[in-house]
Amino acid sequence: MRAADGPALDRAVPFRAGGYAPQRVAWASAATLIGLLAFWQFCASMGWVSTSFASSPLLIIRALAALISSGELWGHLAASLQRLAIGWVIGTISGLLVGLALGLYTLARSPGMAVVSALFPIPKIALVPLFIIWFGIGEGSKIVTLAFGVFFPTVINTMAGVDGVPRGLIRMAQSFGLRPWSIITKIVLPGAMPAVLSGFRITTSTAIILLVAAEMIGADKGIGAFVLQAGNLYDTDNLLAGIVVLSVIGLCVSWVLGVLERALLRWR
């Protein structure tokens, strides 16, 4: 073969379309985490890092084992999970209802959006002292803080999800004479579900942040209170053990959401 006015060619066409498609390599993820922990432990064992300031993986495991065997962990964990569950469920259900209303009804959208836009940017942690004044130092203020923090992202994601449902599907349902309730439950809600579920990922992590903040401001029980107490005592082993527990809570929540997504969005 010969290109016009160029040198004679005789070679295979090179492949030029590789890359830009990162794959997940499971062993690399595990190896990275294990490597980092091993490095940390090595530095601590060699005395390069003070265990008083940064503890070490082995000391943290030992602290966790002691917390489990003494039963102390379960008391803190139960208090935190209860607040997390109640606050998240209240915020989610109310957020879904308001988000649906804002997504569906003209009468709700303008006034509703004005309120949501005004309140959404407020850092919810700043409201904890106010909620303590209103609802007391007990469970009420903590649950309201969580619910409030979960409510706004849920409203916004639900409304965006409803907006994203192709109007052609709703017109189709109307053309077949489906009742409004059927249109909402069989078209709007399933159509908005991907956005709602991705909102759940945001709201669960927001709820964990607010849980810890609320427990640090005024609680005897709960992982946040435990972490703060350990910090006050310069007990970095227990402090980091508490943070590991929070991380495990986050991972478990993420796993549950993954299962939920696979079940509800298997059509994708």
Q: Considering the rule CB under 8 A, would residue 267 count as an interface residue with other proteins?
A: yes
Which lies closer to other proteins via its Cβ, residue 43 or residue 170? 170
Q: Considering the rule CB under 8 A, would residue 260 count as an interface residue with other proteins?
A: no
Judged by CB under 8 A, the chain residues 157 through 176 that form the site for other proteins are 168-169, 171-176
Which lies closer to other proteins via its Cβ, residue 193 or residue 216? 193
For the CA atoms of the chain, what is the radius of gyration?
26
Distances (CA, A) of 252 to 29, 204, 241, 255, 257: 18, 11, 16, 5, 9
Which lies closer to other proteins via its Cβ, residue 39 or residue 171? 171
Distances (CA, A) of 181 to 109, 173, 177: 19, 11, 12
Q: Considering the rule CB under 8 A, would residue 263 count as an interface residue with other proteins?
A: no
Distance from C-alpha of 176 to C-alpha of 264, rounded to nearest angstrom = 25
Task: Name the one range near other proteins by CB under 8 A: 8-16, 51-59, 183-191, 243-251.
Answer: 183-191
Which of 11, 16, 24, 268 touches other proteins (CB under 8 A)?
Answer: 268
CA 211 to chain centre: 12
Judged by CB under 8 A, the chain residues 73 through 132 that form the site for other proteins are none
Kindly state the DSSP code that residue 233 receives in the 8-state scheme: T
Q: Considering the rule CB under 8 A, would residue 186 count as an interface residue with other proteins?
A: yes
Q: At what angle do helices 72-104 and 189-218 cross, to 10 degrees?
A: 140
Which lies closer to other proteins via its Cβ, residue 121 or residue 177? 177
Which lies closer to other proteins via its Cβ, residue 58 or residue 189? 189
Q: Considering the rule CB under 8 A, would residue 197 count as an interface residue with other proteins?
A: no
Q: Considering the rule CB under 8 A, would residue 187 count as an interface residue with other proteins?
A: yes
Which lies closer to other proteins via its Cβ, residue 160 or residue 169? 169
Which lies closer to other proteins via its Cβ, residue 11 or residue 268? 268
Which of 52, 140, 179, 251 touches other proteins (CB under 8 A)?
Answer: 179
Closest listed residue to residue 256, CA positions, set 173, 179, 189, 200: 200
How many residues touch other proteins (CB under 8 A)? 20
Q: Which residues bind other proteins (CB under 8 A)?
A: 168-169, 171-179, 182, 186-187, 190-191, 193, 265, 267-268
